[in-house]
Chain A
Amino acid sequence: MSASNQEDLILDLKGVNVEFDVEAGKLHILRDVSLSVPRGSFLCVVGESGCGKSVTAQAIAQLLPNNGRITSGEIVFNVDDERIELQSLEKFGAKMRSLRGAKIGMIFQDTLSSLNPAHKVGRQVAEALLQHTDISKEEARERVVTLFTRLGIPDPRRRYDAYPHEFSGGMRQRVMIAIATICEPDILIADEPTTALDVTIQAQILELLKDLQKNEGRTFILITHNMALVSEVADHVAVMYLGRVVEHGTTQQVLFDPKHPYTRALLKSVPALDADKNEELKTVDGQTPSPADVTRGCEFAGRCPYVADICRGETIEMRTLPGNHQVRCVRLDAQGQLPIFQIGGASE
């Protein structure tokens, strides 16, 4: 996010707020989310369940459920020398439909429910191509077979005519990646693409995504809760908690020099493969509150060991530390250090 990168942001979210209508009223799900994504980079959005990471992806793709809507903010998508404000487009209007799938690709977690069980997989991949380009069915078929080969699907010609249930989980995820990439989109949003997969298969899929970024210059936004996975693929990391981005910076900054108390706690609660077994795992006390319960001050205040009166007052602003490392915490000093004395005494 240096000055030179800022000129070429493929995607720029500025102060996006999303609300959901529920029986009890309104839930403020995304709170002032700002993210800038340089072209060709790999951004990971991490956080625990309910933090709004999937809603962020849905907001970008204009696929929010019917009871959710963007109430303010801008989602700027820069493609082909055009500046498009996605939030102003009609959800299923011609413009958005021409972008979704063609310029913005999406990969979802649950492959079994994302593929139509009654259609041959090859046709489902080719569909995107036929929708967005003027090529014949035969050409489309050839393109799909070529892509299957590149994605490591064995026997691609025969597999084109197979049905989803004939594929294993890892192969179905490859088909999903094929659907998302067949139109060569500029940006790919992957929402927990490997969560349902075994680790050896997860490793294969990650190699594949990383290869698409490095060798074809695609931009990726990967949504995950797995911090270790992030450290292997990401260039930039955004950490979310209860609808807000609490820390945003390079992978080096966020994972190896974390500043926000939540990021620090989160990183320490995951056992590493070489963890010292005599040490207890660090935990974050309490539970994530409901978005309805926190309306003022810092969302993490109720669980934070460094909490002070100031944390419960006004909304906490994002601060920029040296190296454009952004942190939303008032308890940090100018060097990004937390106070040494803490009340309630957990961790560090």
Chain B
Amino acid sequence: MRRGSCLSFRLGERVSNQAAADKPLYQITGIKKLFPVTGGVLRRTIGHVRALDGVDLDIFPGETVAIIGESGCGKTTLGRILAQLEKPTEGNRNFDFGNGLQSISDLRGPEEMAFRKRVQMIFQDPYTSFNPRQRIGAAMDEVLKVHGFSDEDERHDRISRALEMVNMRQEYLLRYPHEFSGGQRQRLSIARCLAGKPELIIADEIVSALDVSIQAQIVNLLRSLQKDTGLSFVFITHDVAVARYIGHRVVVMYLGSVVEILPADSLPGAAEHPYTMALMAAVPTMSSEGKPERVALQGEVPSPINVPTGCAFSTRCPFVMDICKSERPPLRDASDNHAGNLNGHKVACHLSIPPKL
């Protein structure tokens, strides 16, 4: 705890300066997403999956926001909504095209394309994200054409520079996807994204399918790209250690809600939400002197069709109180986030003093 809070103090200065200087590139508020569940002969809607239950998030220029959570927590849905691949049921999305935040809920035609050019997505499975019958070069060229780069020389130029950035050779452009390994294909997906010079890349579990030695290559690549180009990342992962390593801020999700947002450097020590704490304790770590007693969470994540009233985590929380079952805790400033130390740490929990696991 001590070490964590002193780290977050140092980081706090940086984040607050940044927040003062920079306006968010992308801001979403009150995002809800319900998927209908149908049943019976007439396929009538009999209920809803609450994939996202009121999410607020700011993404700043040059920042990596890592979103973590367990399967079914809504992190992929959030990524798809950020990339405009999915429309939210409710909520506002605002993007800064260069002259202040502007709503993107009703973008059409050229404006929508302008948004899609700036915000790109990379998917988890590098095997299915390329057309197997199309050469890599053609696949990359097509994306640029769609985004209105009509000059062939310019397209070619952009593609070769993007390939250089991911350390791939020019001759690969003439090859087909099956000639590459998973790690190489993931590099090519990244290059395809970079060619259009996006401002924000949404990366959904892009290293999960790769071996650890290859995963490290991709993580290093993303970090150096950000240093060189200043682009922003939303990095969705279930691997807490990778999230902490690559992210500036870490967003912890549970059952469709954000339960905690904290500076990545302050993890694992500064976590204040009981779920984040349990998650940190559950991550296997290398230590020669054996693991301190682990508080295993009891039970499993409830179904998103029957989200508990009140706090979503109340059914598994070891510190549950009466209020947790009836009232949903709002996302508020955490105890280490105050006037003298604005570090952006927010937590959604009724406990005002962080519990000790």
- A residues near B (Cβ < 8 Å) are 48-49, 168-171, 198-204, 206-207, 225-229, 231-232, 252, 255-256, 265-267, 269-275, 277, 280-284, 287-288
Contact = CB atoms under 8 A, between A and B. Distances in A.
Contacts, number: 119
A272 B286 contact: yes
14 contacts: A171-B300, A198-B238, A200-B297, A206-B284, A227-B286, A228-B285, A228-B286, A232-B291, A267-B286, A269-B216, A273-B240, A274-B268, A280-B223, A281-B219
Contact of A225 (B211, B216, B217, B288): B211
A243 to B, nearest CB: 15
Interface stretch (B40-48, B113-121, B193-201, B275-283): B275-283
Contacts of A48: 211-213
Given A231-B286, A256-B288, A281-B219, A269 B213 contact: yes
B244 interface: yes
A252 B288 contact: yes
Contacts of B219: 271, 281
A204 B284 CA distance: 12
Nearest to B180: A287
B81 interface: no
Given A204-B296, A281-B220, A273 B268 contact: yes
Contacts of B2: none
A284 B240 contact: no
Contacts of A284: 213, 216
Nearest to B300: A168
A228 B183 contact: no
B141 interface: no
Interface of B: 70-71, 181, 183-184, 211-217, 219-220, 223, 238, 240-242, 244-245, 264-265, 267-268, 278-288, 291, 294, 296-297, 300-301
A229 B220 contact: no
B284 A226 contact: yes
Contact of B267 (A169, A201, A267, A273): A273
Nearest to B268: A273
B265 A277 contact: yes
Contact of A281 (B181, B216, B297): B216
Given A170-B300, A255-B286, A199 B238 contact: yes
For the complex of A and B, list the 4 residue pairs with the smallest distance between their C-beta atoms, beginning with the closest.
A198-B70, A269-B216, A284-B213, A48-B211
Nearest to B290: A232
A273 B217 CA distance: 18
Nearest to A279: B245
Contact of B294 (A203, A256, A281, A287): A203
Given A232-B285, A252-B288, A271-B244, 15 more contacts: A48-B212, A168-B300, A170-B300, A198-B71, A199-B279, A202-B282, A204-B297, A231-B286, A267-B286, A273-B244, A280-B220, A281-B219, A281-B245, A287-B183, A288-B211
Nearest to A251: B288
Nearest to A282: B216
A232 B211 CA distance: 20
A169 B214 CA distance: 28
Nearest to B213: A284
B220 A231 contact: no
B211 A200 contact: no
B285 A231 contact: yes
A200 B282 contact: yes
Contact of A283 (B216, B242, B280): B216
Contacts of B291: 232
A49 B212 CA distance: 10
A199 B300 contact: no
A156 to B, nearest CB: 15
B198 to A, nearest CB: 24
- Which of A168, A201, A226 has most chain B Cβ within 10 Å? A201
A170 B297 CA distance: 12
B287 A231 contact: yes
Given A199-B279, A275-B245, A266 B212 contact: yes
Contacts of B280: 273
Contacts of B213: 48, 265-266, 269, 283-284
Contacts of A275: 241, 244-245
Nearest to A152: B298
B212 A225 contact: yes
A200 B296 contact: yes
A48 B241 CA distance: 19
Contact of A229 (B184, B212, B284): B284
A203 B287 contact: no
B3 to A, nearest CB: 9
Contacts of B212: 48, 225, 227, 266, 269-270
Contacts of A201: 70, 300
B292 to A, nearest CB: 11
Nearest to A226: B284
A288 B183 CA distance: 11
- Which of B184, B213, B217, B220 has most chain A Cβ within 10 Å? B213
B283 A228 contact: yes
A232 B70 CA distance: 21
Contacts of A287: 181, 183-184, 214
A48 B210 CA distance: 9
A290 B113 CA distance: 42
A223 to B, nearest CB: 15
A199 B285 contact: no
Contacts of B211: 48-49, 225, 288
A170 to B, nearest CB: 6
A284 B220 CA distance: 12
Contact of B242 (A207, A231, A271): A271
B37 to A, nearest CB: 15
A150 to B, nearest CB: 16
A93 to B, nearest CB: 37
Contacts of B288: 231, 252, 255-256
- Which of A198, A201, A227 has most chain B Cβ within 10 Å? A198
A207 to B, nearest CB: 6
Contacts of B238: 198-199
A277 B216 contact: no
- Which of A49, A232, A271 has most chain B Cβ within 10 Å? A271
Contact of B296 (A203, A266, A277, A282): A203
Nearest to B275: A200
Contacts of A283: 213, 216-217, 220
